Amino acid sequence: FAELDEVEKYVGGSWDSVRGLLGGKGANLAEMVRIGVPVPDGFIITTEACNEYLSLGEQLPEGLWEQLLTSLKKIEASTGKSFGDPKNPLLLSCRSGAKFSMPGMMDTVLNIGMNDETVEGLIESTGDPKVAYDLYRRLIQMFGSVVMHIPDEKFEEIITRMRLKAGVKSDTELTADHWMAITEEFKNVFRFHTHHHFPTEPYAQLQMATEAVFMSWNGKRAIDYRNAAGISHDLGTAVNIVAMVYGNLGDDSGTGVALTRSGTTGEKHIEGDYLTNAQGEDVVAGIRMTKDLSDLAKEMPQVHAEFERVAVLLENHYRDMQDVEFTIEKGKLWMLQTRDGKRTSQAAVRIAVDMAEEGLISKEEALMRVTPELLDFFFHPQFDRQPTTGEAVGAKLLAKGLNVSPGAAVGVVALDADLAELWGKKEGKKVIMVRPETRPDDVHGMLAAQGIVTSRGGRTSHAALVARQFGKPAVVGVDDMDIDLTRRQITVGDKVIKEGDFISVDGTTGEVFLGEVPTRDPDVKDRWLLKLLSWADEYRTLGVWANSDYPVDASRAREYGAEGIGLCRTEHMFMEAERLPLVQKMILAEMEVQRSEAIKALLPYQREDFAGLFRVMDGLPVVIRLIDPPLHEFLPNQTALMKELADLKIQLQHAPNLEAIDDLLEQVRNKEHVLERVEVLREDNPMLGLRGVRLGNHFPELTRMQVRAIIEAACLVSRDGGDVRPEIMIPLTSHCNELKVQRQLLETEARKVMEEQGFEINYKFGTMIEIPRAALTADKLAEYAEFFSFGTNDLTQTTYAISRDDAESGFLIEYMVRGILPENPFETIDRDGVGELMRIAVDKGRKTNPDIKLGICGEHGGEAKSIALCHMLGLNYVSCSPFRVPLARLAAARAAI
Ligand code: ADP
Ligand code: MG
Ligand code: MG
């Protein structure tokens, strides 16, 4: 371990290559020695030796054994003990350690070197035959199970039987004679299972253990793990040979594991478990009740003080929280392993911030240590979970689906949007909306619900996207769930949940639970989180805006740090209960006057909406997109209409009197009319149909009304002293003439309103870039637009010619599973295609207008990798759902560092 400098010279210096050669465990043992942490003597057989051994067909490479003996001599010299010496025996541990920590490989054999002779020497040196035989039986047990794959129960059974026979409860009460007898029985177990005697020759033990570590690199579990984790198969494992220190020499000895700071909260105090008078893995094995490390301060105060000194040494060196394994031998502390510790999101944030404030790391490093996804945790309630098993406390699992929107939610089942809204909004109940799948006209129910569950659909289904947009926990594609909309109940296997019964949903894990599971609110005012985000703001150059349609969302977005609204979708406002009939009337109108009337009736609603947003976003820009979806989305479903019509006709045949006939006839005529319009509006490809700017050009009245609502609202709020900055955005433009026409229309109307109101409003006019042609002709569009906003959802759809709504439950999943597509392009922007179109649009747009403002408002605007791309392309801002604003602030800072 003391020759790390030479290793560094050999591999050329970098810590990564040192780890590659020595494995993580070995490299850190050597590093600890170098910085003065007490570590027992030892040496490392390199990963190169392992690879050589395997390529030679499981043959020790030439010279390896001689080198091993030379190293062993050095340990003998420094410890003053000899391997195999019956008087003063040296014992060794043989431990695997690859570059990356890897379950599935052979782990550790302790006490190598024990046999019938050396046991006598140990009785001599420890003065305690009980300790000596305990060490001996442990070697046979570990060697047997780890090297020879004898089931460990075979050994444990014998100990249990011995305890019963001796009439004692715990292992520690067994005497030397008991352990001696157990040792003999262990030898028999070994012979029975391997048909060989236990190898009593110390060097044979060492060689067999070493080769077993080498071979375990190619064990099935290890290979499976590497495949799953994407670790290369040619790294090989190192073997650490370490002089034993003894934690089982009495009450001033012990063994344990610890974190240098809390892995749960990040608090700065050492946290751990230990056992006195125990060895190695007794702590993890859970054989005895462990003690809390704080007890060590009372039991062995000097050891505890030494521990604190070592913890500081390690943290100062590794500049991160460490996870250590240690043993205390007669009041002396030995460290046996260190590595960066695992932690919760909350602890990750706190540790990064604390360490930066302590001057251990820089602010940049603190920002780089917290991955943006970790922040999700802070913005959603959670179920309490068992730290070890991860099971939700007090919960009964009902079914599992896809975890598409994180957080925990509890409520009563509502099987349709109207009921969800009634219960949620009007009656103030907590509701979980459960549907086979969702559609745009389900949004009001989803908004009123705590959480959403669907039995069909994938990660980019409507339900998933809307849920993420509004930060509602959601689980979709719960296949096992059978939703019966007529009997108003859900069945999963033999369990029946009636509408109105409680369920609980964890969108972080994809679990659905029976009944009410208790939740805990996260702390968004967490001091460390706020600090980290304030640092992020110092470093980022990208603006972070939010997509919000309602004032409540906008004010949340502001609270989370949004610097503007990058997308307000006006059509959501059309969906609300009182307005939908007006919208339908507008669509169904046969005569221009009727249409104008309906549109005018919508005006006050829209004006109210916008005024609300402007008030909340005082002093900040608000991008309002004019209506986008094809009109048929606002009309009732065609099949439902046909069914209703058929019902009416049946009723007509059984009508009791003339009056009823008249009434029914009227209804039939109405239905037929609606159905006719639905048929007229029906498009084979609505995604490529009459929508976006095409609607505004088709019904100029609609554009005029929306512009009027925006400018009137702006005047209203300005008059009250508000600082209003509206930006009007045209969706789905593909040709610059579309913009030209809309701009003329819009400017005329805006001018008219301002004159009426006697007020001047400073507004901007811009367009979305969501069609390849728009990106390719951005120089021409920039002649009419003061800003571009990349609508990357549609830009991805139109670039790939993939329908997002359909693809994910179908071939897109298959594509990703088979690796035909490396990533879901609807989650992370496809750099080579969509990203390239964006780059062209940025270049061309800026060429025409160097001051053009560029942003993104697709869902990608809240995803870390896509945010990095936007930074690279030099956009001015990203806009995402309010809940992802903090994440975007961090991601933008990391992109800038
Ligand atoms: P793992 O990777 O499974 O943690 P280790 O190689 O770290 O395996 O060994 C497990 C435990 O065995 C250690 O935490 C330590 O308690 C014990 N151990 C290993 N080597 C020694 C040694 N030389 N002296 C005393 N205990 C040891
Ligand atoms: Mg282990
Ligand atoms: Mg370990």
What average pLDDT score do residues 768-773 get? 98
| Residue in the block written with tokens 């009439």 | 167
Nearest to 401 by CA among 491, 322, 555, 508: 508
Nearest ligand, CA 97: 1
Q: Residue 283 half-sphere exposure, CB side, CA atoms within 13 Å?
A: 22
Which H helix or E strand runs over 502? strand 502-506
Does residue 762 have a known ligand-binding role?
A: no
Report helix, strand or coil for 379.
helix
Does residue 553 have a known ligand-binding role?
A: no
Task: Please check the confidence at residue 413 and state whether its pLDDT lies above 70.
Answer: yes
Instruction: Name the CATH architecture for the domain at 382-520.
Output: 3-Layer(bba) Sandwich (3.50)
Task: Please check the confidence at residue 345 and state whether its pLDDT lies above 90.
Answer: no
Query: Which residue would you say has higher pLDDT here, 468 or 317?
Result: 317
| pLDDT at 469 (0 to 100) | 62
Which CATH topology does 4-243 take?
Answer: Dna Ligase; domain 1 (3.30.1490)
**Strands 451-454 and 431-435: what pairing?**
parallel
The answer to whether the beta carbons of residues 564 and 545 sit under 8 Å apart is: yes
The answer to whether the beta carbons of residues 442 and 435 sit under 8 Å apart is: yes
Task: Please check the confidence at residue 817 and state whether its pLDDT lies above 70.
Answer: no
Nearest to 243 by CA among 358, 427, 90: 90
- Phi and psi, residue 136, nearest 5°: -65, -50
User: What's the 326 CA to ligand 2 centre distance in angstroms?
Assistant: 14
d(CA 1, CA 7): 10
| pLDDT at 810 (0 to 100) | 64
In 610-720, the DSSP E strands lie at 621-625
The mean pLDDT of the chain is: 92
| pLDDT at 808 (0 to 100) | 65
- Beta bridge partners of residue 98, listed in sequence order: 237
For 76, 110, 130, 139, 329, the CA distances from 126, given in Å and listed in that order, are: 18, 17, 10, 17, 12
Best mutation site among 325, 333, 338 for ligand 1 pocket (most ligand atoms within 8 Å of CB) = 325
DSSP state of 237: E
Task: Please check the confidence at residue 283 and state whether its pLDDT lies above 90.
Answer: no
Nearest ligand, CA 257: 1
Q: Write the pLDDT tens digit of every residue in 75-112.
A: 999 999 999 999 999 999 999 999 998 877 778 999 99
User: What's the 897 CA to ligand 3 centre distance in angstroms?
Assistant: 35
| pLDDT at 855 (0 to 100) | 98
| pLDDT at 878 (0 to 100) | 98
- Give the Cβ contact number of residue 786 at 10 Å: 16
**CA angle 8–208–334, rounded 5-degree value:** 50
Sheet holding 322-329, edge to edge: 291-292, 271-276, 254-259, 322-329, 332-340
- Beta bridge partners of residue 328, listed in sequence order: 254, 333
Q: Residue 664 half-sphere exposure, CB side, CA atoms within 13 Å?
A: 18
Ligand 1 site, CB within 6 A = 40, 93, 95, 107-108, 110, 242-245, 255, 280-281, 325, 327, 336-337
Q: Write the pLDDT tens digit of every residue in 593-626.
A: 888 898 899 999 999 999 999 999 999 999 999 9
- Where helices occur in 35-173 by DSSP H, the ranges are 47-55, 64-79, 118-126, 129-142, 152-166
d(CA 610, CA 549): 9
**CA angle 703–706–710, rounded 5-degree value:** 135
d(CA 586, CA 578): 14
- Phi and psi, residue 759, nearest 5°: -140, 145
Best mutation site among 329, 336, 339 for ligand 1 pocket (most ligand atoms within 8 Å of CB) = 336
The answer to whether the beta carbons of residues 381 and 522 sit under 8 Å apart is: yes
d(CA 546, CA 563): 8
Ligand 1 atom closest to Cα of residue 96:
6
Does residue 684 have a known ligand-binding role?
A: no
- Is the dihedral angle over the CA atoms 207, 209, 214, 219 positive or is it negative? positive
User: Percentage of the chain with pLDDT > 90?
Assistant: 74
CATH class of the domain at 254-343: alpha beta
| pLDDT at 105 (0 to 100) | 79
Query: Could you confirm whether 857 is annotated as catalytic?
Result: yes
d(CA 376, CA 886): 9
Sheet holding 489-492, edge to edge: 482-484, 489-492, 495-498
- Phi and psi, residue 276, nearest 5°: -85, 155
Ligand 1 atom closest to Cα of residue 255:
16
Query: Which residue would you say has higher pLDDT here, 770 or 219?
Result: 770
- What DSSP line would sit under 729-779, residue for residue? EE-S--SHHHHHHHHHHHHHHHHHHHHHHT-----EEEEEE-SHHHHHTHH
| pLDDT at 389 (0 to 100) | 64
Which residue out of 94, 715, 857, 880 is catalytically annotated?
857
- Give the Cβ contact number of residue 397 at 10 Å: 13
Cβ contacts of 723-726, under 8 Å, gap ≥ 24: 723/618, 723/619, 724/614, 724/618, 724/622, 724/761, 725/617, 725/619, 725/620, 725/621, 725/622, 725/762, 725/763, 725/764, 726/610, 726/614, 726/621, 726/622, 726/624, 726/761, 726/763, 726/764
Least trusted range by pLDDT, from 387-396, 558-567, 731-740: 387-396
What average pLDDT score do residues 831-843 get? 98
Q: 129: left (phi > 0), else alpha (psi -120 to 50), else beta? A: alpha
Nearest to 798 by CA among 822, 830, 821: 830
d(CA 320, CA 369): 10
Whose CA is closest to atom 14 on ligand 1?
325
Does residue 793 have a known ligand-binding role?
A: yes
Task: Please check the confidence at residue 526 and state whether its pLDDT lies above 70.
Answer: yes
Least trusted range by pLDDT, from 403-407, 699-703, 743-747: 403-407
Close Cβ partners of 17 (under 8 Å, ≥ 6 residues apart) = 11
Distance, C-alpha 170 to centroid of its chain: 43
Single-letter amino acid, residue 762: N
Close Cβ partners of 232 (under 8 Å, ≥ 6 residues apart) = 226
**Sequence ranges of the domains in the chain:** 4-243, 254-343, 382-520, 540-630+687-896, 638-682
The answer to whether the beta carbons of residues 423 and 414 sit under 8 Å apart is: yes
Task: Please check the confidence at residue 388 and state whether its pLDDT lies above 60.
Answer: no
The answer to whether the beta carbons of residues 249 and 131 sit under 8 Å apart is: yes
**Strands 502-506 and 408-414: what pairing?**
antiparallel
- What DSSP line would sit under 167-231, residue for residue? T-SSGGG--HHHHHHHHHHHHHHHHHHHSS-----HHHHHHHHHHHHHHHTTSHHHHHHHHHHT-
Length in residues, the chain:
897
d(CA 191, CA 550): 75
The answer to whether the beta carbons of residues 623 and 567 sit under 8 Å apart is: yes
Least trusted range by pLDDT, from 15-19, 428-432, 569-573, 768-772: 569-573
Which CATH topology does 540-630+687-896 take?
Answer: TIM Barrel (3.20.20)
**Strands 565-569 and 543-547: what pairing?**
parallel
Task: Please check the confidence at residue 267 and state whether its pLDDT lies above 80.
Answer: yes
Q: Write the pLDDT tens digit of every residue in 146-201.
A: 999 999 999 999 999 999 999 998 888 899 999 999 999 999 999 999 999 999 99
d(CA 308, CA 310): 5
Query: Could you confirm whether 880 is annotated as catalytic?
Result: no
The answer to whether the beta carbons of residues 159 and 116 sit under 8 Å apart is: no
Tokens representing residue 341 in the block: 């510790």
Tokens representing residue 471 in the block: 């930060």
Q: Please report, in angstroms and rounded to a whole number, the separation of the first and last CA atoms in the chain.
A: 36
Tokens representing residue 97 in the block: 């350690």
Whose CA is closest to atom 6 on ligand 1?
95
In 244-321, the DSSP E strands lie at 254-259, 271-276, 291-292
Please give the ipTM for the structure prediction.
0.93
User: What's the 38 CA to ligand 1 centre distance in angstroms?
Assistant: 15
For 142, 647, 656, the CA distances from 650, given in Å and listed in that order, are: 81, 5, 12
User: Percentage of the chain with pLDDT > 70?
Assistant: 98
d(CA 387, CA 262): 13
| pLDDT at 400 (0 to 100) | 93
Whose CA is closest to atom 12 on ligand 1?
280
**Residue 813 confidence class, pLDDT cut points 50, 70, 90:** low
Where is mean pLDDT largest: 275-289, 313-327, 635-649?
313-327
Q: Write the pLDDT tens digit of every residue in 421-453.
A: 999 988 999 999 999 988 877 888 988 999 999
d(CA 897, CA 892): 9
